[in-house]
Amino acid sequence: MKDSNHDASVEELRNKLDALYEQGVFIEDSEKRLNKLEVLEQEVLKIENDSKIQNILKLFKALSNKNRLLILWLIMNGIRCACEIEHILGLSQSTVSHHINELIEVGVIQIIKSGKWSLISSEINVFSENFFMELMNKI
């Protein structure tokens, strides 16, 4: 059930959409746009409450760190041991370990045990390696 605040908000939006329509910015009148927005509003409510969005947020949070992006880029250029990452990025073992654990938690990399060594590889099924590499190459 929608309250009076929502009704007032819709009316305010209708006035703005009417103005945009009159200025030729939109080719659809406000009623058509409002009908489409109502459908989108219902979809947003479904998406907001879906656990998948929480996983996406965790992924973006993990990737919002420069060192984690660089680590992921290194790993997508081949399987790495933590010592290589430490050397190339000039980071301590504990810092690299922390970043690796963050990336493992969101599922973008995985650990491969080889005797006493732990190697790190990308977990490509989370997102496209090609997309990530193209993005990094365009920077």
Distance CA 70, CA 80 (A): 12
For residue 30, give the nearest of 47, 51, 48, 14 by alpha carbon.
Answer: 14
Looking at residue 53, its amino acid is I
Q: What is the mean pLDDT of residues 32-60?
A: 86
Q: What pLDDT shows up at residue 137?
A: 67
Question: What value does the mean pLDDT of the chain take?
Answer: 86
Q: What is the pTM of this model?
A: 0.65
Q: What pLDDT shows up at residue 87?
A: 97
Question: What 3-state class would DSSP assign to 81?
Answer: strand
For the cut 80, the answer to whether the pLDDT of residue 2 exceeds it is: no
Percent of the chain, pLDDT > 70? 86
